[in-house]
A and B are shown apart, each in its own frame.
Chain A
């Protein structure tokens, strides 16, 4: 039982990180039909922003994080939208998808050129100590990750449903043409979702990089997991992405321990296929009704 709880918490913690990336992923899809296949690289890059701040500019860790957040919002939020999404979206969803795949390669190879192919250590948010709860030795790091993730998701939810701007963003996601008719500044709302996505990937980077170390290729798996999590949960629902991420994290951890680490990547994919076959709208998704 103690093992089980330990694994569950660890799974939920990794799952929470996937969920952050997946939530950003679905937000972009909902407001602007952007399927961002560079989402994994979007999580990889801010870790290097932090490292650059610390090693090149001698910033303390917290300051490097703040600088990296601002830089993420400028590059992965604002510039991503203005320089890649806006020009490509006119040509349709598929060209945009291909463009994001290209961007993913560019970011990955760019980091390798600039920073090398090594895995760089990254400051952890907590000491590697354990907390004993109900006889289970839980890693403090996992608990902190879980706490921060829950906090971020709750804050985002409060913003989206508790503020007028948040509700205008929701309206934009639910029906952009009606939103425009009501005079909602649709373009600005879409830009906000890109900025929120940039903040979410920055947060995900802070949480996951101490575990996986900072490496140019980190985005490959993360991007795949964010995508799978979004589909499992339901592509058009934020809470779907959260559930999808958590489920994926738990499956991931249980597979590694109870089946084999070799099957770690297989099981989520099998799970994905099962979902697509039997519940294509995802666990929490709604069937899309599109009218002209």
Chain B
């Protein structure tokens, strides 16, 4: 693994109950870059994120973040370490106000955290959140809700954001805005690790790609190389990859 990797998975094994999903998964995430994880359904993409974020128990192997072992650390500690996780689907508290949702992004902050200033900064960056700050979060559109989740994740200045299927349910224009936002985060030094169903569009906006199959890494390379790889189309059309040449 390269030394400028911010996150490293080494032979990670994990799953739900007796079912193993991750079968010795290893890959590295380059610091300051956007990396997209792709793979067919059931490959273990979301499971890998949960394992990194301490929601799913890692049974074997280890996970390193910034050179430190973080295997099975609880989320609250990982947030303090500088990781945030934006899961798939809708993850806002629809009955709380937009501002209160944003505030909860700082739930793990130390007592001296300048909450007011950070909320202001977040609302400067996402003006729609300021406009609707007092409204119930359920009144936001799907795209705005995703923005709120991302803004909430950025409250504590993470070094790494894990974001799972952010484009789901968004219009093509909003997907474009979303990728602009992720690139903007990269320009501010935040590493992004993303799962995307829309593999082509995601890889076009990424620096690196990781292809998973059956809980293992099949390909890890620069995004444009993966896009050009004829095996990828085959993988997504079903049938799986041919055994890798020795």
Q: What string of 1s and 0s marks CB contacts (under 8 Å) between A174-199 and chain B?
A: 11011111111100000000000000
CA distance A216 to B104 in the complex (A): 44
A291 sits at the interface (CB 8 A): yes
Main secondary structure of the interface of B (DSSP, over half): loop
The stretch of A13-21, A51-59, A104-112, A164-172 in contact with B is A164-172
Most buried by B among A175, A180, A182: A182
- Interface residue from A170, A180, A291 paired with B96 (Cβ < 8 Å): A170
B96 near A181 (CB under 8 angstroms)? no
Interfacial chain B residues near A179, Cβ < 8 Å: 104, 107
CA distance A180 to B94 in the complex (A): 16
B93 near A174 (CB under 8 angstroms)? yes
CA distance A178 to B84 in the complex (A): 12
Q: What string of 1s and 0s marks CB contacts (under 8 Å) between A230-259 and chain B?
A: 000000000000000000000000000000
CB of A89 to closest CB in B, whole Å? 18
CB of B155 to closest CB in A, whole Å? 9
B76 near A178 (CB under 8 angstroms)? no
Interfacial chain A residues near B85, Cβ < 8 Å: 181
Sorting the interface of chain A by its residue count into under 10, 10 to 19, 20 to 34 or 35 or more gives 10 to 19
Number of B interface residues in the complex (CB < 8 A): 22
B104 near A167 (CB under 8 angstroms)? yes
Given A180-B55, A181-B91: A167 and B75 interface contact (C-beta under 8 Å): no
A178 near B103 (CB under 8 angstroms)? no
Q: Which residue of B lies closest to A178 (CB)?
A: B91
Which residues in chain B, 48-98, are within 8 Å of chain A measured between CB atoms? 53, 55, 75-76, 79-80, 85, 87, 89, 91-96
B55 near A181 (CB under 8 angstroms)? yes
CA distance A177 to B56 in the complex (A): 12
B45 sits at the interface (CB 8 A): no
Interfacial chain A residues near B100, Cβ < 8 Å: 167
- Interface residue from B55, B94, B95, B104 paired with A182 (Cβ < 8 Å): B104
Given A178-B91, A181-B75, A291-B89: A167 and B96 interface contact (C-beta under 8 Å): yes
Can you show 21 pairs from A to B with CB atoms below 8 A apart? A168-B104, A168-B107, A171-B93, A171-B96, A174-B94, A174-B95, A175-B93, A180-B55, A180-B75, A181-B53, A181-B85, A181-B87, A182-B75, A182-B104, A182-B108, A183-B75, A183-B76, A183-B80, A184-B107, A184-B108, A291-B89
Q: 9 more A-B contacts (CB under 8 A) besides A184-B76, A184-B107?
A: A171-B96, A174-B96, A175-B93, A177-B55, A181-B85, A181-B91, A183-B79, A183-B107, A184-B108
